[in-house]
A and B are shown apart, each in its own frame.
Chain A
Amino acid sequence: MAETLAWRKPRQRMAPPAPRQASREMIGSSISMRSVVKTYGAFCAADRISLDVEPGEFITLLGPSGSGKTTLLNLLAGFQTIDGGEILIDGRSIAHVPTHRRGFGMVFQSYALFPNMTVSQNVAFPLRMAGVDRATSDRRVAETLEMMRLSDHARKTPFEMSGGQQQRVAIARAIVMRPKVVLMDEPLSALDRRLRESIQIEIRALHQTIGSTILFVTHDQSEALTMSDRIAVMDKGHIIQVGRPVDIYRQPQSRFVASFVGESNLIEAEILENRGGTMRLRSRSGLVFDAQSRDASASGTATVLVRPERIALRETATADSVAATVTSALFMGETLRIEAEMAGGETLLIRCQDTAARSLPQIGSRIHVSWGAQDCWVLA
C-alpha cells in the first residue's frame, strides 16, 4: 500500500499535458457507448451497441470469436472509424480525437513490444511521446517496473524474456502514463494456464492500485468471471447481457449466455404455476420441481438452467430426488464429472467434489440426484 500512496503523490506539475495529469485521486474515466455501429460490407460487426462503463470499473467484453468484442475495442482505441452512434469518454465524444491523443493505455494479444527497444525504453515510450522530461521519465519507468516486478530486466530486450515477462512489460507500458482508460485485447491468451491465473490476479490487484477504467476483451469465460467487476456478454455484434459475474453465472437471461458461461444443464419443462419470483415446473421425465425466475408472467414451456455443481448426488432415493443411469464418470482431480441419463431421456451433467467418502460410480449404475429451488433458474 505504501507503494500505492507514493504513486498518488503529485510528483511533477509541468510534464504531461492536462488530460493525462496524474491527479491525487486517480479515478478512471467513464465510457459511454451510444448505439455504436460498425459494418464490414454486409457484415455487421457491431450492431447498435450501447454500454455504459463506470469510472474505475473493470469491465470485460466476453464472447466467441467474431462476436464483435475486438471490433468494439478497436473502435474505442481509434484503430477503426465508427459507422454510426458515438462513444463518449467522461461525457465528451472522441469521434474526432485520433488514437494517439486519446491518452489510453493498451495491452495487445501479441504484446506488440518494440523489438528495437529495451524493456525500459519500451515502458518509457508513452512518456517520451508525451514529452515528459528525462529525469521524471526515468523515475516513473523505474517505479512502474518495480511495480510489475521487472526491475531486474530493465535492460533486456523483449526477445530475451519469457512470455509472462513480456506480458508484464506490455502491461507496464500501458499503465506507465496512469491512463484513465486501459484497453486489454485478450492479453493472456498466449500464456499457459498456470501463468495465466497468476497474471489474472496480478492485473486485478493492479486495477485496485491504479484505479483506471479497464476494458478487457476475452473469449475465456473463467477469466472473465475471475477478473471483472462486470461482464458484457457479446454475440453476433450484440451485447446479450451485462452484469456482475455472479449474476451472469447464476441468472443468465438467455440460452446463449447460460451455455457460453460455465457448464450448464438446460432442461425443457412445462410451467405449472407461476408465483412471481418462483415457478413450479414439470420436466419431460415427469419430475416436478421449483425454480427461481425473473419473469412473473411467463406460462407454457420454459428452459431451466441447473449448474452441474448444484446437483446433489444421493446414494438412496429421497422424496425430492430423481433416478438416473450413469453413462460416463470421470475422475478429474478436485471434482468428479458424471453424466447421467434421466427417465425422460434427458442427459444431466453433474460435478461433485472429490471426497474420501465418495467413490466414482460405475457406468450403468443407478444414482439419485436432486436439486433445490435455489439451484434452478428459469431462462427468460
Chain B
Amino acid sequence: MTDMPLSDAAISRRRPLLRNPALLLLPATLFLGVIYVLPLIDLARVSLSGEPWWVHFDRVFSVPLYWDSLVRTMQIALTVACLCALFGYPTALLIQRSRGTLQVLIATAVILPYFIAILIRTYAWMVLLGRNGPINKFAIWLGLYDQPLALLFNRGTVLLGMTAVLMPLMVLSIYSSLSRLDPGLTRAALASGAGPLAVFWRVLLPLTLPGIGAGFLLVFVSALGFFITPTLLGGPADQMFAMHITQQADSITGEGFLQALAVVLLLITLVVVGIAGRLMGFEFIWGGGKLSEPAEAAVKGHSGSARPRRRSPATVIADMIGWPLLRIMGRMPASAGTWTVRALGFLIICTLILPILVVIIISFSEASYLTFPPPGWSLKWYEKFFSDSNWMSAFWNSLGIAALSAVIAVTLGASAAMGIVRSEIRYKSALMLLLVSPMIVPPVVLGLSLYSLFLQLGLVGTYFGLAAAHAIGGIPIVVVIVAASLQAVDRKLEQSAAVHGASPLTVFRTVTLPAIAPGLAAAVFFAFLHSFDELVLSLFLSSPRMKTLPLMLWADINYQLNPVLAVVSTLEVLLVVGGIILARPVLSRSGGGH
C-alpha cells in the first residue's frame, strides 16, 4: 500500500467544485429560467400593469362572458376527470388481470393513443361523429333513425372527446399503482374471507387511491387548459377558458387584459397542483417514485400515502353508504363483477382505438369528402400529400424543428436527470418540480408568455425559436424517463467497476451508459414526438411563412375536412407505432409519467 498517500492526494486534487454532479443541473435550469420562468414572470408583470393594478382582473371576474366560461371550464374539467376515473379503473384492472399476449394488446391499445397528437385524436372523433361518419351510418343501418344526426359541436362531444383524449393518462396512473401492489394482498384478503367486492373495497381501492388521485389531478389540470379538443368538438356554448385567450390574442385587445386571463388560468392550475402536492406529494406530476433526498429519505421511509389513519369522517361515510351498497351488489352472481370489468374495459379500449382505425381506413378513401365506409379505395390522397409543396415543406419544417428540439431537450434534460439522481444537493424536490412543471402549465399560457419574449428577440417564426419553445415541454419528458432509468441502475455495479480500477468517466461509459441507453433512446423519441405534435405554442410563435405539420392540420381542420388529414394522421400513427415497438422495454418500466 505504498501508493496510498498518492491516491489520497489525487482525491483531494480531483474533487474541486467542478466535479460536483449538481453542476449538471445548471444548463437545464438556466435554459428554463430564461425561456420559461422569466416570460411567466413578465406575463404576471404585464397583467398587473393596469391602473389600478387589479383593473384587468376585475374585468375577468366581472364580465359574465369570462366568469361563466371559467365556471364552465371547471365543470367540464371535473366531469372529464370523474369520467376518466370511473372508466379508467376497470380498464387498468383489466390490464392487470389479463395475461400474456392479451395483456400486451390491451396495454398497447391504451398506450398507443397516448402518444398520438391530441389534434389527430380529436380529428378522428370529428370523422367518427361526422354527418357521414360511421356512427351515423351504423345507427341508420340499424334503423335507429332515418336522417343523419348532428352529433358534433355540443357539450356531449366535448366531454366524450376530452375523456377519450385524457383517458390513457388515468389508466396508466391507476395501473402503475395497481401493479406495485403485492399480489399476495388480494390472496390474503380472499383467504381471510373477503369476497371479490370486499377485496376491491377494503384492499384494492384504499391502496390505489394515490394512483386514482394522481390520475384525477393530472386529467383535471390538463383539462383546465384544454384548447384543441373543445375548439374542434364544441359548440358556441362550450367555450372553455383557454379558448378566450387565443381568441383575444387574435383580436387586438388592450395590453394587460389578455395577460390577466392567462394569469388567472395559470393561478388556478398552480393552486390545484399546490393543494394536491401538499396532500399527496408532488411526485404525482411525474408519476414516479420519490427521489431520495439526503436528509429526508431516512425519516420518511415508508410513510406517506398508504399510512392508515384513525377512522376519518370520509371512511365512516364510506363504510355507512358505500359498503352496504356493495353488499347488496354482492348478491349478484360472482361472475357479474368480472363481466362488468371486462365490458367496461372493452368499451374503453374500443373508444380509444376505433377512431384511429377509422381514420386509417378513411385515408385510403376514393371520395373527396369524409364518408364511411369509403365508396372506393385509392392512394390518391397519399399522392396529394406527397406532391403538395405546402404539405411537404410543413413536413420538413416539422421534422427539422422536432430534431433540433429533441437535441436541445435531451442534452439539457439528460444531464439534469443525472444531476438530480446523483447529486447530494438540498432542495432536490424543488428543482425536480421546476424541471417537470412545464407539464402542468397550460400551453396556451406558455405560448402567450413566450410570444412577447420571442418578439423582442426576433425568434418568432424561426427554426431555433420553435425548437427551443418545444424543448420546454420536452425537457420534463426526458428528465422523467432518464431519471427513472438512472434510478434503476444498480449502484453496486458502478461501485464494483470503480473498485476494480475504472475512472469515473470509464464507469459512466462502460456501466451507466449501457444501462440507461434504452431510456435515453426512448427520451430522444418522445422529445422528438412532443415537438413534432406540438400545436398550441406553434400557433403563437410561428409566422405565416413557416408552418409546421400540426399548424397545417389545424388550418385544414378548421377550413375543410378532407382525407389528406387522414393521410397525415396515418403517417403519424405509423411513426408512433414504430417508436413504441422500439421503446417497449423502457415503457413498461417508466409508464405513468408523461
Contacts and interface: CB of A to CB of B under 8 A. Distances in A.
Interface in A114-136: 114-118, 121, 125-126, 128-130
A69 interface: no
Contacts of B193: 100-101, 103, 126, 129-130, 177
Contacts of B192: 100, 105-106, 125-126, 129, 173, 177
A115 B306 contact: yes
A110 B190 contact: no
Interface string A148-170: 00000000010100000000001
Interface in B170-209: 182, 184-185, 187-196, 198-199, 202-203, 206-207
Given A100-B194, A129-B193, A159-B302, A112 B188 contact: yes
Given A79-B187, A112-B188, A116-B308, A98 B206 contact: no
Nearest to A126: B192
B334 interface: yes
Contacts of B203: 114, 116
Contacts of A110: 182, 184
B544 interface: no
Contact of B194 (A111, A112, A129): A129
A85 interface: no
B334 A98 contact: yes
A99 interface: yes
A108 interface: yes
B64 interface: no
B545 interface: no
A113 B181 CA distance: 11
A129 B189 CA distance: 9
Contact of B190 (A78, A109, A111): A78
Contacts of A173: 188, 192
A118 B202 contact: no
Nearest to A156: B308
Contact of B188 (A102, A106, A116, A130): A106
A232 interface: no
Contacts of A112: 182, 184-185, 187-188
Interface residues of B, number: 26
A285 to B, nearest CB: 48
B188 A100 contact: no
B182 A125 contact: no
Interface in B296-313: 301-303, 306-308
B198 A106 contact: no
B194 A116 contact: no
Size range of the chain A interface in the assembly = 35 or more
Given A115-B306, A118-B308, A99 B190 contact: yes
Contacts of A311: none
Interface in A301-343: none
B202 A125 contact: yes
Given A103-B193, A173-B192, A157 B187 contact: no
A77 interface: yes
Given A112-B182, A117-B308, A118-B308, A104 B191 contact: yes
A183 interface: yes
A77 B191 contact: yes
A341 to B, nearest CB: 39
A170 B184 CA distance: 12
A115 B189 CA distance: 12
A170 B196 CA distance: 21
A12 to B, nearest CB: 17
A79 B184 CA distance: 11
Nearest to A177: B193
Contacts of B188: 106, 108, 112-114, 170, 173
B189 A114 contact: yes
B166 to A, nearest CB: 27
A321 B480 CA distance: 73
A114 B191 contact: no
B207 A115 contact: yes
A109 B307 CA distance: 22
B306 to A, nearest CB: 5
Contacts of B207: 114-116
Contact of A108 (B187, B202, B307): B187
Contacts of B301: 159
Contacts of A183: 191
Contacts of A170: 188
B305 to A, nearest CB: 9
A106 B203 CA distance: 17
B185 A106 contact: no
Interface in A277-303: none
Nearest to B187: A79
Contacts of A78: 190
A112 B191 CA distance: 11
A126 B198 CA distance: 11
Nearest to B319: A128
B17 to A, nearest CB: 39
B306 A116 contact: yes
Nearest to B307: A157
A293 to B, nearest CB: 44
Interface in A215-245: none
A79 B191 CA distance: 9
A244 to B, nearest CB: 28
A114 B199 CA distance: 11
B193 to A, nearest CB: 4
Nearest to A124: B192
A161 to B, nearest CB: 11
Interface in B304-330: 306-308
Residue in A116, A121, A173 whose Cβ sees the most chain B Cβ within 10 Å: A116
Interface string A253-285: 000000000000000000000000000000000
Nearest 5 A/B pairs, CB to CB? A112-B184, A112-B188, A106-B191, A159-B302, A126-B192
28 contacts: A77-B187, A77-B191, A78-B190, A79-B187, A98-B190, A100-B189, A100-B194, A100-B195, A100-B196, A100-B199, A103-B193, A104-B191, A106-B192, A108-B184, A108-B187, A110-B184, A112-B182, A114-B188, A114-B202, A116-B207, A116-B306, A117-B308, A126-B192, A129-B189, A129-B194, A129-B195, A130-B193, A159-B303
Given A102-B191, A104-B191, A129-B198, 19 more contacts: A77-B190, A77-B191, A78-B190, A99-B190, A99-B191, A100-B192, A100-B194, A100-B198, A106-B188, A110-B184, A115-B302, A115-B306, A116-B307, A129-B195, A159-B301, A159-B303, A170-B188, A173-B188, A177-B192
Interface of B: 182, 184-185, 187-196, 198-199, 202-203, 206-207, 301-303, 306-308, 334
Interface of A: 77-79, 98-106, 108-118, 121, 125-126, 128-130, 157, 159, 170, 173-174, 177, 183
